[in-house]
Amino acid sequence: MCGIVGYIGKPESPSDKARDVVLEGLARLEYRGYDSAGIAVAGSQPLAWLKREGRLDNLKAAIEAEPLPPASAAIGHTRWATHGAPSDTNSHPHISHDERVAVVHNGIIENHAALAAELAERGIERVSETDTEIAAHLLAIELEKGADLLDAMRTIAGKLEGSFALVALDSQHPERLVAARRNSPLVVGLGEGENYLGSDVAAFVGETKRALELGQDTIVEVTADSVNVIDFDGNPTQAKEFSVDWDLSAVAKGGYETFMDKEIHEQPMAVRETLRARTTEQGNLQLDELRIPESILRSIDKIIVVACGTAAYAGHVAKYAIEHWCRIPVEIELAHEFRYRDPVVNEKTLVVAISQSGETMDTLMAIRHAREQGSKVLAIVNTQGSTIARESDAVLYTHAGPEIAVASTKAFISQIAAAYLLGLYLAELRGNKYVDEIAGYLDELGKMPGRIEQVLEQEEQIRELARSMADIDSVIFLGRHVGYPVALEGALKLKELAYVHAEGFAAGELKHGPIALIEEDLPVFVIVPTPRRPLLHAKVISNLQEVRSRGAKLIVIAEEGDEDVLKYADPSQVFWAPRTTPTLMMPLVTVIPLQIFACEVAKAKGYDVDKPRNLAKSVTVE
DSSP string, 126-175: -SSS-SHHHHHHHHHHHHHTT--HHHHHHHHHTT--EEEEEEEEETT-TT
Q: Considering the candidates 253, 319, 603, 617, report the single residue annotated as catalytic.
A: 617
Q: Give the Cα separation of 114 and 110 in Å (integer).
A: 9
The counts of H helices and E strands in the chain are 18, 25
Amino acid at 542: S
Phi and psi angles of residue 366, each rounded to the nearest 5 degrees, phi first:
-65, -45
Question: 244-265: buried (b, 16+ CB within 10 Å) or exposed (e) per residue?
Answer: bebeeebbbbbbbebbbbbbbb
Q: What is the per-residue DSSP string for 315-361?
A: HHHHHHHHHHHH---EEEEEHHHHTTS-----TTEEEEEEESSS--H
What is the rounded CA–CA span in Å between residue 462 and residue 591? 12
* 495 catalytically annotated: no
Q: Which of the 8 DSSP states describes residue 285?
A: B
Let me know if 410 is a catalytic residue. no
Number of neighbouring beta carbons within 10 Å of residue 122: 10
Q: Of the residues 2, 308, 326, 599, which is catalytic? A: 2
Q: 287 and 395 in contact (C-beta within 8 Å)?
A: yes
| Nearest residue to 110 (alpha-carbon basis) of 143, 83, 142, 146 | 83
Query: DSSP state, 381?
Result: E
CB atoms within 10 A of CB 48: 20
Q: Return the SS3 of 109.
A: strand
Q: In what order do the strands lie in the sheet with 227-231?
A: 94-95, 101-109, 162-170, 177-182, 218-222, 227-231
Q: Annotated active-site positions, please?
A: 2, 617
